[in-house]
C-alpha cells in the first residue's frame, strides 16, 4: 500500500470523504468514541457547499436559526447569525468556526480528491486512492460527499470556445467578480440563477438570461435578525428543534395538515397572502395536500403566477416568466427581487424552451438565430445531484461490480445509508434518504448519529463487518418509489429524478415520506438489532 505521507498515518478506523457539514460532524462524533478517523476533502477548507458556491447572492433558504448544528447547545447559543437567511460568506465562517472550536482540521486532508475506493474482503478494509496517488486504508468508509456537490455542465456546442471568462455558480472563484459595465449571459433559471441574477443585473451593463423552464420563487423577505427574536429563539432552542423533527421537512414552522379544497376560495387566498407576506419555503406548508392533489396545487400555482404578473410590468414578459408545471415539482426557489429585476431596461429574457441555445461562440451565446455578444458567461445549470459525487468515485465492494455499474439504471440503497455488497461503507444523505426535502443540517446530524452509534454498537458486540441485506434494500427502495409516485413530485422533470443530466437514469432519488417517518424507520432498524443488515 502506497502512502505519500500526504494523507497522514495510513491506517484508520474510519475514512471519511468530504468536509462539509456532514464530514465535519462525523469526525467530531467519531473522535468522541475514541476512534481514529481521517477526512479527505477535495476543497481547500471545510464548508462543502459553502466553500464552493460563492456566486453573488448565494445564501441559505432555510432560516439560519434552524440551518445550523444542534449537537452542542453551547455552539448554538454562542453563534450569532446576522440575518434571517445568512449569505454564503457567513455560513462559511460558521463552518470555519466549528472547525476551529472542535480542532477538526488536524484530521482533515484538504486539496485531495478521492478517485477510487476498494473493499478488501480478506482484510475487511477499504482502501481509498486519491487522484495524486496517495492511499489510505480504514475498516469503515463513509462517503460524506454531498447531494449537490458535482457541477452539471450543459452540453452546448462550443462551450469551451468562449473567449471571455466562464463561471459555473457551483465552482465560483474565491475573489469577488465585478461585472460592472459588462455584458453578461446567465444560462439557467434555478435557485442559483434566481439568487444571482438580481445582483449581477445591478452591476452589468446588459444581462441576458437564457431560460429553458420558468421557475416558481417565493420572496425571502430577508432582513437583519431582531435581537429579541434571537434571544427568545435561543431560550427555546431545545423545544423548537424537537418540534421541527416532527414536521415532514424537519423545519420548525406552520405546516398545516388540512386540504386546500376544504376551505373557501377567500380563505385560501387569505392564507396564501399571509404566507407570501411571511416569505420563504413555509409557503408550501399552507395545506397538507398541495403536493398530492392536482386541484389543490393549481390553486397555489395560480396564486404565484398572479403575483408574477403583478410584479412584472410587461405582460408578455410576465407570461414568459410564469411556470406552467406544478409548483413544488422542481425545488421551490426563494428570491430577493428576482421577478422585479426583469423590469430593468438592462435585463433581457431569452426563452430557449422551444428553440434551445444553438451554440456558445467565442463572443457570446447563439440562440434564436442571433449571436448575443457578451463579455462573461455565467453557467447556472446545477448539479449531478445525489449520485454524482458517489459515481465519480470508482467504488468497488465485495464482488466485481462497481457502484457505477450497479447504479447505471438508477441508484438503490438501504435508507440512503448503506448498499448491499458494499460492506462497511456508509453514505450520509445518500439516495433513498429524505435529505434534500429537509433542513439538511439536522438531517445530516441524524445520519451521522446513526452511523456513529452503529459503529459503537459493532465495537461493543465484537462485530467487524456490517452490510445491507439485498431484500431489505429492495423493499426500502420500492417504498421510496411508492411514496414518490403517490404524490405529484414525479410529474415534473427535476434533478430529483435525474432529468437534468443528459443520459442519467430517470429514477426518483430522495425519500419523500418525511423526516419523522424516516427517523422512525431508522430507530426500528436499530431496535431490531440492525434489522435488514447482516452483521459479522
Residue for cell digits 444571482?
A: 196
Q: Is residue 429 near ligand FAD by the rule CB under 6 A?
A: yes
Q: What minimum distance in Å lies between the beta carbon of 536 and ligand FAD?
A: 28
Contact with ligand N01 (CB under 6 A) among 61, 206, 271, 351 = 61
Residue nearest ligand N01 (C-beta atom): 190
Q: Is residue 397 near ligand FAD by the rule CB under 6 A?
A: no
Q: What minimum distance in Å lies between the beta carbon of 118 and ligand FAD?
A: 14
Q: What minimum distance in Å lies between the beta carbon of 191 and ligand N01?
A: 3
Enter the DSSP assignment of 148: S
Task: Specify the residue, 331 or 447, whose C-beta has the smaller distance to ligand N01.
Answer: 331
Q: Is 235 exposed, middle or buried (0-12, 13-18, 19+ CB in 10 A)?
A: exposed
Beta-carbon contacts of residue 177 (< 8 Å; ≥ 6 apart): 56, 165, 167, 376
Q: Is residue 113 near ligand FAD by the rule CB under 6 A?
A: yes
Give kind and range of the element (H or E) at residue 29: helix 21-32
The interface region with ligand N01, picked from 104-112, 184-192, 284-292, 482-490 by CB under 6 A, is 184-192
Q: Is residue 332 near ligand FAD by the rule CB under 6 A?
A: no
Enter the DSSP assignment of 198: H
Q: Is residue 212 near ligand N01 by the rule CB under 6 A?
A: yes
Q: Is the dihedral of CA 485, 488, 491, 492 positive or negative?
A: negative
Q: Is residue 380 near ligand N01 by the rule CB under 6 A?
A: yes
Nearest to 190 by CA among 212, 157, 207, 160: 212
Q: What minimum distance in Å lies between the beta carbon of 495 and ligand N01?
A: 5
How many residues of this chain interact with ligand N01, rule: CB under 6 A? 28
Q: Which does 48 bind (CB under 5 to 8 A by kind): ligand N01, ligand FAD, none?
A: ligand FAD
Q: Is residue 334 near ligand N01 by the rule CB under 6 A?
A: yes
Contact with ligand FAD (CB under 6 A) among 194, 440, 497, 525 = 440
* Cβ contact 27:107 at 8 Å: yes
Q: What minimum distance in Å lies between the beta carbon of 379 and ligand FAD?
A: 14
Q: Is residue 357 near ligand N01 by the rule CB under 6 A?
A: yes
Q: Is residue 444 near ligand FAD by the rule CB under 6 A?
A: yes
Nearest to 382 by CA among 147, 203, 183, 200: 147
Q: Which three cell numbers stand for residue 357?
A: 441555445
Contact with ligand N01 (CB under 6 A) among 192, 325, 427, 443 = 192
Q: Is residue 241 near ligand FAD by the rule CB under 6 A?
A: no
Task: Specify the residue, 23 or 57, whose C-beta has the smaller distance to ligand N01.
Answer: 57
Q: What minimum distance in Å lies between the beta carbon of 314 and ligand FAD?
A: 29
Task: Specify the residue, 268 or 331, whose C-beta has the smaller distance to ligand N01.
Answer: 331
Binding mask 178-197 for ligand FAD (x = CB under 6 A): --------------x-----
Q: Is residue 249 near ligand FAD by the rule CB under 6 A?
A: no
Q: Which three cell numbers stand for residue 119?
A: 473493499
Residue for cell digits 460558521?
A: 94
Task: Specify the residue, 414 or 495, whose C-beta has the smaller distance to ligand N01.
Answer: 495
Nearest to 79 by CA among 89, 68, 87: 68
Contact with ligand N01 (CB under 6 A) among 68, 381, 387, 413 = 381
* Cβ contact 216:321 at 8 Å: no
Q: Is residue 337 near ligand N01 by the rule CB under 6 A?
A: no
Binding mask 125-164 for ligand FAD (x = CB under 6 A): -------------------xxxxxx---------------
Q: Are strands 533-535 and 394-396 parallel, antiparallel or unpaired?
A: unpaired
Task: Specify the residue, 210 or 283, whose C-beta has the smaller distance to ligand N01.
Answer: 210
Q: Is 91 exposed, middle or buried (0-12, 13-18, 19+ CB in 10 A)?
A: buried
Beta-carbon contacts of residue 124 (< 8 Å; ≥ 6 apart): 139, 423, 424, 464, 465
Nearest to 215 by CA among 436, 493, 438, 505: 493
Q: How far apart are CA 123 and CA 345, in angstroms?
A: 66
Q: Are strands 114-120 and 125-130 parallel, antiparallel or unpaired?
A: antiparallel
How many residues of this chain interact with ligand FAD, rule: CB under 6 A? 37
Nearest to 330 by CA among 151, 192, 483, 502: 192
Q: Is residue 512 near ligand N01 by the rule CB under 6 A?
A: no
What 3-state class would DSSP assign to 50? helix
Contact with ligand FAD (CB under 6 A) among 42, 134, 218, 317 = 42
- CA 480 vs CA 414, 485, 511: distances in Å: 10, 9, 5
Q: Which three cell numbers stand for residue 370?
A: 442571433
* Cβ contact 155:356 at 8 Å: no
| Chain positions contacting ligand FAD, by CB under 6 A | 17-23, 40-43, 48-49, 51, 53, 58, 60-62, 67, 113-114, 144-149, 192, 389, 392-393, 428-429, 439-440, 444
Return residues touching ligand N01 (CB under 6 A).
60-61, 148, 154, 156, 169, 187-193, 195, 210, 212-213, 331, 334, 352, 357, 380-383, 436, 495, 500
Amino acid at each position: 500500500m502506497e502512502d505519500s505521507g500526504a494523507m497522514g498515518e495510513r491506517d484508520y478506523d474510519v475514512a471519511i470523504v468530504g468536509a462539509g457539514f456532514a464530514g465535519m460532524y462525523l469526525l467530531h462524533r467519531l473522535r468522541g468514541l475514541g476512534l481514529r478517523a481521517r477526512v479527505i476533502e477535495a476543497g481547500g477548507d471545510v464548508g462543502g457547499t459553502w466553500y464552493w458556491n460563492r456566486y453573488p447572492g448565494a445564501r441559505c433558504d432555510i432560516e439560519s436559526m434552524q440551518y445550523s448544528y444542534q449537537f452542542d447547545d453551547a455552539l448554538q447559543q454562542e453563534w450569532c447569525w446576522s440575518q434571517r437567511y445568512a449569505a454564503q460568506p457567513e455560513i462559511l465562517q460558521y463552518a470555519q468556526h466549528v472547525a476551529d472550536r472542535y480542532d477538526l482540521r488536524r484530521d482533515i486532508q484538504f486539496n485531495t480528491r478521492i478517485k477510487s475506493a476498494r473493499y478488501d474482503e480478506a482484510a475487511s478494509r477499504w482502501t481509498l486512492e486519491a487522484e495524486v496517488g496517495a492511499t489510505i486504508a480504514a475498516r469503515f468508509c463513509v462517503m460524506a460527499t454531498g447531494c449537490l456537490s458535482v457541477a452539471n455542465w450543459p452540453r452546448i456546442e462550443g462551450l469551451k470556445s468562449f473567449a471571455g471568462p466562464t463561471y459555473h455558480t457551483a465552482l465560483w472563484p474565491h475573489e469577488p467578480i465585478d461585472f460592472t459595465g459588462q455584458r453578461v449571459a446567465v444560462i439557467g433559471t434555478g435557485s442559483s440563477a434566481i439568487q444571482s441574477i438580481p445582483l449581477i443585473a445591478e452591476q452589468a451593463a446588459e444581462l441576458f438570461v437564457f431560460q429553458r423552464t420558468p421557475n416558481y420563487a417565493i420572496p425571502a423577505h430577508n432582513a437583519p435578525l431582531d435581537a429579541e427574536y434571537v434571544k427568545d429563539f435561543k431560550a427555546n432552542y431545545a423545544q423548537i428543534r424537537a418540534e421541527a423533527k416532527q414536521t415532514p421537512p424537519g423545519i420548525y414552522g406552520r405546516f398545516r395538515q388540512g386540504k386546500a379544497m376544504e376551505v373557501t376560495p377567500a380563505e385560501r387566498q387569505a392564507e396564501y397572502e399571509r404566507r407570501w407576506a411571511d416569505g420563504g419555503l413555509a409557503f408550501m406548508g399552507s395545506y397538507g395536500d398541495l403536493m398530492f392533489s392536482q386541484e389543490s396545487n393549481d390553486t397555489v400555482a395560480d396564486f404565484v403566477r398572479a403575483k408574477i404578473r403583478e410584479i412584472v410590468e410587461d405582460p408578455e414578459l410576465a407570461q414568459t416568466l410564469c411556470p406552467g408545471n406544478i409548483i413544488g415539482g422542481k425545488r421551490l426557489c426563494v428570491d430577493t427581487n428576482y421577478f422585479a429585476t426583469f423590469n430593468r431596461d438592462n435585463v433581457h429574457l431569452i426563452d430557449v424552451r422551444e428553440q434551445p441555445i444553438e451554440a456558445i461562440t467565442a463572443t457570446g451565446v447563439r440562440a434564436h438565430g442571433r449571436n448575443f455578444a457578451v463579455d462573461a458567461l455565467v453557467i447556472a445549470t446545477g448539479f449531478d445531484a445525489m449520485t454524482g459525487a458517489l459515481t465519480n468515485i470508482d467504488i468497488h465492494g465485495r464482488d466485481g461490480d462497481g457502484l457505477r455499474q450497479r447504479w447505471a439504471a438508477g441508484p438503490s440503497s438501504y435508507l440512503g445509508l448503506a448498499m448491499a455488497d458494499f460492506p462497511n461503507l456508509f453514505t450520509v444523505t445518500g439516495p433513498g434518504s429524505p435529505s434534500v426535502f429537509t433542513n439538511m443540517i439536522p438531517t445530516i446530524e441524524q445520519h451521522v448519529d446513526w452511523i456513529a452509534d452503529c459503529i459503537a454498537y459493532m465495537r461493543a458486540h465484537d462485530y467487524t463487518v456490517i452490510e445491507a441485506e439485498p431484500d431489505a434494500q429492495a423493499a426500502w427502495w420500492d417504498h421510496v418509489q411508492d411514496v414518490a409516485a403517490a404524490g405529484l413530485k414525479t410529474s415534473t422533470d427535476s434533478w430529483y429524478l435525474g432529468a437534468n443530466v443528459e443520459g442519467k437514469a430517470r429514477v426518483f432519488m430522495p425519500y419523500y415520506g418525511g423526516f419523522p417517518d424516516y427517523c422512525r424507520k431508522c430507530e426500528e432498524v436499530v431496535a431490531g438489532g440492525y434489522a435488514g443488515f447482516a452483521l459479522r
